[in-house]
Amino acid sequence: MEGSHLQRQMACMRKSLFDQGFLDEQFIQLEELQDDANPNFVEEVVTLFYRDSTRLILNVDQALEKVPLDFTKLDNYMHQFKGSSSSIGAAKVKNECTQFKECCKAGNAEGCMRSFQQVKKEHAALRKKLEAYFQLARQAGTGETASRSK
Amino acid sequence: MKSIANEDLIGSKSMPHGNDVCQGPSSHSLNKKVTALVVEDNVVNQMIHKRLLSNLGIETQVVENGKEAVDLHHSGAVFDLILMDMEMPIMNGPEATRVLRAMGVRSKIVGVTAYSGDYEKRVFMDAGLDDYYEKPLTMAKLVSLLQELVDNN
């Protein structure tokens, strides 16, 4: 009873992450790679993403303090960031990275500063949601993720 | 490679959640295990590509730039499939592909790139790729290129 209630909650949470555009199809690709032999694959990839992207955020923050801005360097960092975001299906984060890259291409320093704030905002928001989701998954005691529903 | 029959691709190992669109080569029925090299600097993509390949029973190694891929081949390593990222530090995908082909490497080299511009694609293909796919790599794309690998042998 308790179990299925938690599983329903988990399915609801998962659906809203997709409906609200936080996650896209690529996240489902990760879920499909999870199996009995690798029951925590999705969480492991997401954890790796956050570890790696936190490092990138630090690099970008430092680079944004330099005068004048090195747009090539910034674009390179963002290329990595966008790539990782895309690979885990972090749709909103990926979109903000795209905005940032546009500002780099245009040599728009103020635009870079502003769009990076958005990147960090979406990055943090998704992290909170996914942490809550994985915690619920653990409580629900499922080895598999909720079934695919769109 | 001749020992891998077409029907081996429709292996006994079905995908999780019963997704019957994607089925891969079963390591049980292969006389020789398919080997792959992932050349990729992004750690998240390394993890995902490795999992994609391992799930299909493919023995996978990972290196983080083109130079490491070249060095590995210099030391005698051979792979059935090389997944080559385009942008990497020290030696990028196109350069590594050129070097490997010049060394006589005849493995199937597939570019995996975030860039969708025609110019970048052409430059990468001209370096000696057999094919390229846009990132992120999915199970469907991988099964498709592995099917070609089997068909061509």
Chain B residue numbers touching A147 (CB-CB < 8 A): 17
Cβ–Cβ pairs < 8 A, chains A and B: 61
* ipTM of the complex, rounded to two decimals: 0.89
**Rounded-to-integer distance, Cα B39 and Cα B89, Å:** 11
Average pLDDT over all residues of chain B: 82
Chain A residue numbers touching B85 (CB-CB < 8 A): none
- Contact criterion met (CB below 8 Å) for B80 and B36: yes
Chain B residue numbers touching A56 (CB-CB < 8 A): none
- State which residue of chain B sits closest to A47, comparing Cα positions: B44
Assigned domain for A147 exists: no
- Taking the CA of residue A90 and the nearest CA in chain B, the distance in Å comes to 12
Percent of chain A with pLDDT over 70: 92
- Taking the CA of residue B150 and the nearest CA in chain A, the distance in Å comes to 22
- Taking the CA of residue A29 and the nearest CA in chain B, the distance in Å comes to 7
- What's the pLDDT score for residue B153? 64
Assigned domain for A60 exists: yes
Residue, of B98 and B8, whose pLDDT is higher: B98
Q: What is the pLDDT of residues A77-95, one digit of tens each?
A: 999 999 999 999 999 999 9
Among B38, B46, B48, the strongest candidate for a mutation testing the A interface, having the largest count of A CBs within 10 A, is: B48
**CATH code of A72's domain:** 1.20.120.160
pLDDT higher than 50, residue B2: no
Full-model pTM: 0.84
Domain spans of chain B, in order of start: 32-151
- State which residue of chain A sits closest to B15, comparing Cα positions: A32
Burial zone of B54 (CB within 10 Å; 0-12 exposed, 13-18 middle, 19+ buried): middle
- Taking the CA of residue B76 and the nearest CA in chain A, the distance in Å comes to 31
The residue among B27, B38, B7, B15 whose CA lies nearest residue B139 is B15
Chain A residue numbers touching B16 (CB-CB < 8 A): 32-35, 144
Residue, of B85 and A3, whose pLDDT is higher: B85
- State which residue of chain B sits closest to A53, comparing Cα positions: B44
Percent of chain B with pLDDT over 70: 78
Here the contacts of A28-33 (C-beta below 8 Å, separation 24 or greater) are A28/A89, A28/A148, A29/A89, A29/B136, A29/B138, A29/B139, A30/A88, A30/A89, A30/B48, A31/A145, A31/A148, A31/B17, A32/B15, A32/B16, A32/B17, A32/B19, A32/B22, A32/B139, A33/B16, A33/B48, A33/B51, A33/B52, A33/B55, A33/B139
Q: What is the pLDDT of residues B11-62, one digit of tens each?
A: 434 344 433 344 445 444 455 789 999 999 999 999 999 999 999 999 999 9
- State which residue of chain B sits closest to A34, comparing Cα positions: B16
Q: What is the pLDDT of residues B65-77, one digit of tens each?
A: 999 999 999 999 9
- Taking the CA of residue A9 and the nearest CA in chain B, the distance in Å comes to 20
CATH C-level class of B32-151: alpha beta
- What's the pLDDT score for residue B40? 96
Q: What is the pLDDT of residues A27-55, one digit of tens each?
A: 999 999 999 999 999 999 999 999 999 99
Q: How confident is the model at residue A142 (pLDDT cuts 50, 70, 90)?
A: low
Residue, of B114 and A57, whose pLDDT is higher: A57
**Mean pLDDT confidence for B113-141:** 89
**Mean pLDDT confidence for B118-124:** 91
Domain total in chain A? 1
Residue A61 forms contact with B (CB below 8 Å): no
Interface residues of B toward A, Cβ cutoff 8 Å, are: 15-17, 19, 22, 42-45, 47-48, 51-52, 55, 87, 114, 135-136, 138-139
- What's the pLDDT score for residue B22? 43
Nearest to B42 among A31, A32, A80 (CB): A80
The residue among B80, B91, B89 whose CA lies nearest residue B58 is B80
